[in-house]
Amino acid sequence: MSAVSKKMRVYHRYLGFFLAGIMAIYSVSGIILIFRNTDFLKKEKHKIETIATNLDEEAIGKVIKIKNLKIIKQQGDLLVFEKGTYNLKTGIADYKVKELPYIVSKMNNFHKANTTHPLFYLNIFFGCSLMFFVLSTFWMFAPGTQIFKKGILFTIAGVAIALVLLFV
């Protein structure tokens, strides 16, 4: 085994141990995110907030974070929407939302981080680490061995399946 192969194995092993916890959190939160358009794990919460007065339909939805809010009817100063009510004069919004448990919500932030969120540095590090795992895998076994040749076939199969799923 070459010196480079030995070093790659050591780096691969210890980086793998270091990232085991992060990968577990990404894995669980990624699976949960698949069900984000359902009520899986979500609990209904009743909220009463005082927001600005005389808001229109779109502004109410933005402030209380309900997408596609639609006013069903108006009864005097009270606007009624599917999940609650809003008083035009007092600004009181009384509504129900479904939210993930606190810890699950925080875990999901790993996937949603962008450049305005401090977690994006972790995401960049994690992505680069995963790419290192991809590349270092090819130094784990000597190129002429049977196990390396089978590994290449599995790699090709994995890429093919991913491409088919992406474009189908």
Q: Are residues 86 and 113 in the same domain?
A: no
Q: Are residues 111 and 163 in the same domain?
A: yes
Range of the domain at 71: 43-99
Q: Are residues 49 and 25 in the same domain?
A: no
Q: Are residues 112 and 161 in the same domain?
A: yes
Q: pLDDT tens digits for 84-99? A: 999 999 999 999 999 9
Q: Are residues 62 and 114 in the same domain?
A: no
74 DSSP 8-state letter = E
End residue of a domain, out of 63, 84, 99: 99
Q: How many domains does the chain have?
A: 2
Over pLDDT 90: what percentage of the chain? Answer: 70
pTM over 0.85: no
Map tokens 């130094």 to a residue: 139
Q: Are residues 107 and 81 in the same domain?
A: no
Q: Is the pLDDT of residue 1 over 80?
A: no
Nearest to 27 by CA among 124, 111, 131, 112: 111
Q: Are residues 29 and 108 in the same domain?
A: yes
Q: Are residues 108 and 85 in the same domain?
A: no
SS3 content of the chain, % helix, strand, coil (to 5): 55, 15, 30
For residues 63 and 52, the answer to whether their CB atoms sit within 8 Å is yes
